[in-house]
A and B are shown apart, each in its own frame.
Chain A
Amino acid sequence: MKKNIKILFSMFIAVFLLVGCGENAEGTENDESNNEPTEVASWNENLLDPNDPETIRFYSYTLGVAGATEGIENLVQAFNDTVGSEQGIILEAIHDADYQKSVSDIQAGLQVDIIQQTFRGMASDIESKALVPLESAIPQELMDEHFTPFPENAMELGVLNDDTYAIAWTFSTPILFMNVDLLEEAGIDAEGGPENWEELYDWAKQVRENTDAYGFGYSPGTESTQWSMDSLLYSGNASVLNEESTEATFNTPEAIEVFEFMDKFYEEDISLTATDSEIGESFRAGNTAMYIQSTAAYNSISSAFEENGWTFDGYPIPGFGDQASVPTNSGSGLSIRQPEDEKKAQAMWEVIKFLTGEEAYTTITSEIGYLPLRTDIAEDPEYLQGFLEENPIIQRNIERLPDIQSQTQWPATGYPTTIETFTDFRQRIFTTDADIQEEADKAVEQMNKMLPDEPEF
């Protein structure tokens, strides 16, 4: 019996070792790092061939957003029907659920070419997704020519240490959506929107007192609302981090003033202390009068209100007092991973060119709601002029583009624990009776231990 057990155990170890040896060790055959970065800064000839198509896998989180899926699918189909079939490129779009599908596929060694990249965690994602500067794969002169109509401040958002890691693609600024009928029911004329946050607070309180609905909806602590929280802080002359992103600064008197103002909405039960999606559902169901969101939600809000026969409107979020608000951008850029060869790089460029072209932005704006970064098409009757005349909310959003400031640039060091610390801080101060200054001091101290000593970018 003992001998049998020994034989069985030996067999097991043998099998185990065989299985172990079967795995590719890191740094061997499939390792991309063995290939030197392709020098494709200048292309001599078009290597694309319709008879030998190149497949490009494009990871998009917007593909999974309710109300936006069809728009992205239409874009992909349009590419494959036109440029794709002419040039020999097959574009596959994959839903980048929770921004993690691209990461897990990369870790699994699958082909990941172009990623719809948020700006929030870009510094960290450069490493975790092995993103490369677009200049290393695509000739600069081609990009310069194609992106001329794009606002310069938008193009700079994807630049770190003088390298372009993301081309601005889908953008919005924070928009205050309003249920006009609910506001009217509460005795408020919503024309033009509230002049400032103080008036917004008064309107919200009036709605709460005179109707069954909530006056305002803004999630107290969801990471997806970080971009609009940045806008609020900038508008109040405050910020989460300093310019070098080496120090947390959200415990300054100016920042505390913003937090204390926003806390009134929750303290007085004027706003739900719910998740962003719950508040969005509440607004679409007519149970919340005002809601801050990007215009990516425009289509779904529009269809919900149309179905119920309600009227909605939207304006850029106001500033505090008589100061103008400072808009930040939600949305994303297009990032790339190292192409294996020049042919792949050319295929990637054709996809990026298409996705940032006039037809694509017409689709993106009219079918999804993001802003056309090619602002010239806003006044072109062939593209968006008619649509914008019928949808003034989007037009008002476009007018904010030149004033966009970058949302907080989170350094890779300490990310994502740093942003989680700030999100937890927001949740704590807005959903409990915790002292805001005390909590801010604690969170700042905690965050400063995680931030880099020297600027990363």
Chain B
Amino acid sequence: MDDRIEVENTINLDDSVKNKKKRKFNWQPYVFSLPTLIILATWFFFPLFKNLGYAFFDWNLLPTTEPEFVGLENFSNLFNHPDFWVAAKNTVFYTVALLPFTIVLPLFISSTTQNMNPKIRYVYRAILILPLIIPPVVVSTVFSWLLNPTNGIVNNVLMNFNLLESPITFFTDANFSRWTILLITAWKMLGFSTLTFSTALSSVNQDYYEAASLDGASKTKQFFDITLPLISPTVLFMIMMTILFGGQWTFAFIDTLTQGGPYGTTTNFYYLMYEFAFNYSNVGLSAATSLVFMAFVGGLAVVLQFVRQKLVFYDN
């Protein structure tokens, strides 16, 4: 009995020592996290929550005026705004129509050029990345010259080859304006997508292809059965980027080339938010738009996460 008590006391003493060790607080990780937390709080979460609050107020952002609480009036005004549903439709259009240019075409280009001579590959990758690093306003200016109805090279070539009787007014003809914005955006993002896929392809283990070749698999079969599954994380990443940010990529071109016209046919949620805040000086309406859009995009992000878990394959 005494031995057991002694053992229990020893055990209790050991636990006490352990607890003392546990209670010693390690402050270092928290201090090192502090700068990041401050940055996140200042530049991300604070503006986010502030913006959410503005959605229920009427305010023009002037320091000389007070925000006025209006409840859900901004949302009512938003859903009744003449451009809201057009913007919603265009946002979906830009997002879906960008996918071939950010997924299919880049995948094709990167897979067909993967086995290029390394030196030539570096050159073409540098050329491909150029559109991405040119500022959007410069891109807009260049395309406005290229697509000018009477002075632009595109119309001049088409008319010289008798493919057109009258020049196309790319930015004021509703049949062309949306597609023009889309194609300019696609041109700008093509290089980024291609390089991303090129990088993913470079990381695929070549042994799989050797084994498949020995088994007599064709290049096409190898692509669909080996390449695609192994780069599926990258493919889904680019799909997510396009769906979540595609509308945003078009903003600069809408603002500089069409201003949402003709008659609202090129506007989207991003441009609408900008217009409400800075042309209308209506922060509440802009915040309400961002809230609605955030809910929509947030839902999409959740769905995409679910899809990722089901479809993406990791080679480990």
Contacts and interface: CB of A to CB of B under 8 A. Distances in A.
Contacts of A281: 148, 150-151
A192 interface: no
Given A282-B149, A416-B279, A424-B264, A274 B171 contact: yes
B118 interface: no
B30 to A, nearest CB: 6
A4 B33 CA distance: 12
Contact of B62 (A4, A106, A219, A423): A106
A7 B264 CA distance: 49
B262 A16 contact: no
The 7 A-B pairs at the shortest CB distance, nearest first, are namely: A424-B263, A287-B150, A107-B61, A128-B281, A282-B150, A427-B262, A16-B41
Contacts of B30: 7-8, 11
B276 to A, nearest CB: 10
A84 to B, nearest CB: 28
A83 interface: no
Given A32-B64, A104-B278, A427-B262, A15 B149 contact: no
B82 interface: yes
B149 A278 contact: yes
Given A109-B63, A423-B263, A431-B262, 17 more contacts: A15-B38, A16-B45, A26-B67, A33-B65, A107-B60, A107-B61, A107-B63, A127-B60, A214-B150, A275-B172, A281-B151, A282-B150, A282-B151, A416-B280, A427-B261, A427-B263, A431-B174
Interface string B265-300: 000000000000011110000000000000000000
Contacts of B174: 431-432
B46 interface: yes
Given A12-B37, A431-B262, A432-B174, A33 B64 contact: yes
Contacts of A446: 82
A282 to B, nearest CB: 4
Interface string B157-200: 00000000011010111100000000000000000000000000
Interface string A25-57: 011001111000000000000000000000000
A104 B92 CA distance: 30
B263 A221 contact: yes
Given A31-B63, A281-B148, A431 B41 contact: no
5 contacts: A128-B62, A128-B281, A272-B167, A423-B261, A427-B172
B213 interface: no
Interface residues of B, number: 41
B150 A273 contact: no
A274 B149 contact: yes
Contact of B169 (A31, A274, A417, A432): A274
A311 interface: no
A143 interface: no
A436 to B, nearest CB: 14
A103 interface: yes
B210 interface: no
A106 B42 CA distance: 22
Interface in A257-290: 269, 272-275, 277-278, 281-282, 285, 287-288
Given A128-B60, A274-B172, A282-B149, A15 B41 contact: yes
Contact of B173 (A8, A12, A106, A273): A273
A130 B62 CA distance: 8
A428 interface: yes
Given A103-B278, A127-B60, A424-B264, A27 B169 contact: no
A288 B148 CA distance: 13
A446 B82 CA distance: 9
| Secondary structure call for the A interface | helix
A287 B64 contact: no
A236 interface: no
A427 B62 CA distance: 33
A247 B37 CA distance: 54
Interface string B18-52: 00000000000110011001101110011000000
A237 interface: no
Contacts, number: 125
B15 interface: no
B138 to A, nearest CB: 16
B88 to A, nearest CB: 17
A421 interface: yes
Given A31-B64, A32-B64, A100 B45 contact: no
Interface string A229-273: 000000000000000000000000000000000000000010011
B66 interface: yes
B189 to A, nearest CB: 25
A278 B166 CA distance: 15
Contacts of B263: 221, 423-425, 427-428
Contacts of B166: 269
A220 B149 CA distance: 14
B126 to A, nearest CB: 33
Given A12-B41, A27-B66, A33-B64, A417 B278 contact: no
B151 A15 contact: no
A221 B38 CA distance: 48
Nearest to A26: B66
A213 B280 CA distance: 39
A26 B63 contact: yes
A26 B264 CA distance: 35
B251 to A, nearest CB: 15
A20 interface: yes
A219 B172 CA distance: 9
- Most A CB contacts (10 A, CB to CB) among B29, B82, B174, B279 go to B279
Contacts of A427: 172, 261-263
B149 A19 contact: no
B63 A19 contact: no
Contacts of B261: 221, 423-424, 427
Interface string A387-428: 000000000000000000000000000001100010111011
Contact of A19 (B38, B151, B169, B280): B38
A206 to B, nearest CB: 18
A222 B230 CA distance: 51
Contacts of A8: 30, 33
Interface in A91-149: 100, 103-104, 106-107, 109, 127-128, 130
Interface in B241-264: 261-264
Contact of B82 (A7, A100, A421, A432): A421
Contacts of A103: 278, 281
A284 to B, nearest CB: 9
A3 B247 CA distance: 41
B82 to A, nearest CB: 7
Nearest to A269: B166
B84 to A, nearest CB: 12
Given A16-B46, A431-B172, A288 B150 contact: yes
A275 to B, nearest CB: 6
Contacts of A417: 81-82, 280
Nearest to A434: B263
